[in-house]
Amino acid sequence: MKNICMISQSPYPFDPRVRRQAEKLVREGFEVDILCLPSKDETDQNYGKINAYRILNKNPGQENIRKYLWLAFKFFIKTFFLLQRLHRTRKYALIQVHNMPEAHVFTTILQKLMGVPILLDIHDLTPELLTSKWNTKFSSRIKPFIIFIEKLSCRFADQMITVTEGCKEILVGRGVPPEKITLVLNTASTSIFQFNENRRFRKISNGVKLLYHGTVADRFGLHIVIDALPLLLKQIPGSILMVYGKYDADYRQYLVNKIKELHLEKNVILGDVKTHEELYDIMNEADIEVVPYISNEYMNLSLSTKIFECAAVGLPIIATNLRTLRLTFDHNAVRYVTDQSPEDFAFQIAHLCLNPEERMEMVQHAYRAITDISGDIMEKRYSNLVKRMTGYPDYNNGYKEEVMSEPDENKNIMRTG
């Protein structure tokens, strides 16, 4: 059995991409060690053949760029020394580093000198995200330095993965050879997010259940939906917005104040992070997912996992009209709204509530849109890359195995009533 090490400055198992990949490797016969943050005050944990080593005693948070950089520095130092200790006994066949930040790839410098292949997984483009997340003079000043570190990190890695064509284009534009990059989209795990064939669509004139799940920070625009609720309640009384995710502390307080100001305490639920299994049950109880991301340089490059999860389970989606999202899901699969417009959100939600046939058709189109980029296909592409890099004995040019079947346009996958 070959051992793989993953390094991720995020809590396991709550990062869906890290979890999907680790579980896929285990199914392929590997054992996986993950050097990561705790989600609360967790200690090291064992998940079958996945071993999570908590780098810090607690997750100190990263509300501003200085705190983030200090956390990254501490994580880097502690990871470097733990990696040396583990490698002496585990003899890793490959080390995969998940960004942000991609500079953590240099914790593997001794292993690289020993001939261990290094895989860099670019979840987010750090220069664009830093200026989007923390739009300050300091972040603007250090952006050229962050780009320089990104270039060194990409050059250091033996192979790379990224999440969208847009991200790949930018990395290639910064000098990364295109053949060095494998595209693995953030599609949903089909073992958990299975299509709900029992979902019934009806006219909703009261009590629509709206859902938002994922990171809760200013750039994700949840305040726009909260501003839309008073308008929506005039048309659909009793409407509820359920929020589950990891919060930016300052932004959560901003939302709490806004909810009180608009007297929406009974209409908005600010819940905590949920496991994938818990989310699946919640999504099956919800009526519509809202994705109110604010359009900017970074967000137009991103393609959220939540979109794929909703498409996989059959939950209708209303989202801001972002470039990468629109290129993947057309207007028949996702109902797009005007950027930062509470009025448009309220209108589109009410319209879909009152037109169940449209919601059903959207779900059908979204489900067909992910046929050729399903979680199974992305997982296979990823595992084939790892096998090739580790010299896995049964690797046989696996990329050619990715044969996609045509969706059945005549299949009626939903029910009304």
| DSSP letter string, 361-414 | HHHHHHHHHTGGG-HHHHHHHHHHHHHHHHT-TT---GGGG-PPPPP-TT----
pTM of the full predicted structure?
A: 0.79
Q: What does the pLDDT look like over 127-171, one tens digit per residue?
A: 888 877 776 677 778 889 999 999 999 999 999 999 999 899 999
**Angstrom distance (rounded) from CA 4 to CA 30:** 7
The whole-number pLDDT of residue 394 equals 62
Contacts of 155 (CB under 8 A, 6+ apart): none
Q: Where are the domains of the chain?
A: 3-184, 200-369
| pLDDT in single tens digits along all 417 residues of the chain | 799 999 999 999 888 899 999 999 999 999 999 999 997 767 888 999 999 999 988 776 666 778 888 999 999 999 999 999 999 999 999 999 999 999 999 999 999 999 999 999 999 898 888 877 776 677 778 889 999 999 999 999 999 999 999 899 999 999 999 999 999 998 988 889 999 999 999 999 999 999 999 999 999 999 999 999 999 999 999 999 999 999 988 999 999 999 999 999 999 999 999 988 999 999 999 999 999 999 988 888 888 889 999 999 999 999 999 989 998 999 999 999 999 999 999 999 999 999 999 999 999 999 999 988 888 899 999 999 999 999 987 655 444 444 333 344 444 444 444
Task: Tell me the C-alpha distance between 53 and 361, whole Å.
Answer: 45
Determine the pLDDT at residue 142: 85
The pLDDT, as a whole number, for residue 14 is: 86
Q: Domain 3-184 sits in which CATH superfamily?
A: Glycogen Phosphorylase B; (3.40.50.2000)
Cα 13 to chain center, whole Å?
13
Same fold, 3-184 and 200-369: yes
Q: How many Cα atoms occupy the beta-carbon half-sphere of 302 within 13 Å?
A: 23
Q: Which residue has the tokens 């016969």?
A: 29
In angstroms, rounded to a whole number, what is the distance separating the alpha carbons of residues 148 and 156? 12
Are the CB atoms for 7 and 116 separated by under 8 Å?
no
Give the pLDDT confidence of 354-405 residue by residue, as tens digits. 999 999 999 999 999 998 888 889 999 999 999 999 998 765 544 444 433 3
CATH of 200-369, one of 3.40.50.2000, 3.40.50.10790, 3.40.50.970, 2.60.40.1120: 3.40.50.2000
Residue 416 confidence (pLDDT): 44
3-state secondary structure of 255: helix
* Omega of the bond leading into 100 within 30 degrees of 0 (cis): yes
**pLDDT computed for residue 392 by the predictor:** 81
